[in-house]
Amino acid sequence: MAMTRSEKEIFMKAALGEARKGWGRTHPQPMIGAVLVENGEIVAREHVSQSGSRGPESRLFESLGRKPVGDASLFLTLEPGSSSNRLDSGVRAIVDSGVRNVFIGACDPVAEHENKGTDALKELGIQVERRILIDDCEDLNLIFNHWVKKRAPMLAAKSATTLDGKIACRTGESKWITGEEARQNVMLWRRLFPAIGVGAGTVIKDGPRLTSRIDGEEEWCGVRFVMDGLLRTAMERYLPSVYTDDHRDNTIVVTTDAAGTGYIRRLETEGVNVWVLPAENMKVPFSEFKKKCYDVGINGIYFEGGSKLTSELLHMRELDYHFNYRAPVLLGDDKAKPVYRGMRIEKLSQAIRLERVRNEVYGDDQLMRGFVSYPSRLDVDETVFSNE
């Protein structure tokens, strides 16, 4: 019996839920979920659980322990791979299983492999339908997709603002603008990205732990980047906790060749890694930073810096993705701290915009997130950055 569109979406949502069990654990592979449906019921499900895992298709049929019934349908969040582009051939596993109906969410983002798995199945007489909940399936792997398409890490930034775009009162007080549900969602994204980044000012002022603390799960720490062109953080009498805690070997201080070698030695003595990048001035060059991340295989960085860091990312056109949490709070104070600054926008056509936007609600707070789209011209007030 043919499935309705609504039924197909229900089963693809189940496959997405299965895929998310690998949240943050599969890099540099994508998250993939698979469910097998017989007579309107899910009888088997699998996902990529960690980096290096075989594709979920073969493991799903192994866990089933028998041949699927004649009208069984397989739902996959990502197009199955051929033998040349996956650790295990999803196409081969599907063909060997005898399944005749396959529903796919997103196509393979690698240009040379796009549609090859689908075409191979069709050539063998298997019925294939694509683009089921495609937006959700592509969003699932936004970091992986960016990595394989751009050959560069995704640089994302998170901000939490009032309705009028402020991140702190004029006194600097900012805890907490958003509520607990929004802050737990931030922890979820921290767990997805393999690295988190902040500026020197945030480390000195707030002393953040930069770990993911999700209710019911063990505290997790990925790579922690501190962007510090002059090693101001190493000049402190007492080093910040990210340089001395149990996760300090996960911390990388990114600085420039203008920094003092004595401060570099101080950090390295504590077990902290230091990247010294060539720079024309005291600011960390994000273009060089991205090259270094690519070389070592770090495919995404979630920046939680203050106004200065995120504004620099924007005016250098290096920010790829933005998460903006907005609380139902108004300050109405010209001297309250804005989330972004230093731009000179005279026309809306010159504005920076978000594309492929997704809107979510957490308690009383809203999250708007999307890919950053830059205008052809972007005027920047260099004095805002050169004086800091």
pLDDT for res 215: 87
Domain end position, chosen among 109, 141, 173 = 141
pLDDT for res 388: 42
Residue whose C-alpha is closest to residue 84's, from 57, 59, 120: 120
Together in a domain, 26 and 54:
yes
Domain end position, chosen among 141, 156, 188 = 141
Cα within 13 Å of Cα(64), Cβ side: 27
pLDDT for res 216: 87
pLDDT for res 259: 85
Q: Look at the chain and report how many structural domains it folds into.
A: 2
Domain that holds residue 92: 5-141
Instruction: Using the structure block, give the residue that is written with the tokens 């199955």.
Output: 80
CB 29 within 8 A of CB 71: no
Together in a domain, 137 and 86:
yes
**CATH number, residue 110:** 3.40.140.10
pLDDT for res 342: 81
149-161 per-position pLDDT tens digit: 999 999 999 999 9
- Cβ-in-10-Å burial (0-12, 13-18, 19+) of 343 comes to middle
Helix (H) or strand (E) holding 12: helix 5-19
- Determine how many CB atoms are found less than 10 A away from the CB of residue 203: 26
Residue whose C-alpha is closest to residue 343's, from 384, 287, 386, 284: 384
Together in a domain, 220 and 192:
yes
Together in a domain, 65 and 159:
no
Together in a domain, 31 and 134:
yes
**CATH number, residue 343:** 3.40.430.10
Query: CA-CA distance, 309 to 323, in Å (whole number)?
Result: 15
Together in a domain, 314 and 350:
yes
pLDDT for res 384: 47
Q: Which residues of the chain have pLDDT under 50?
A: 85-87, 383-388
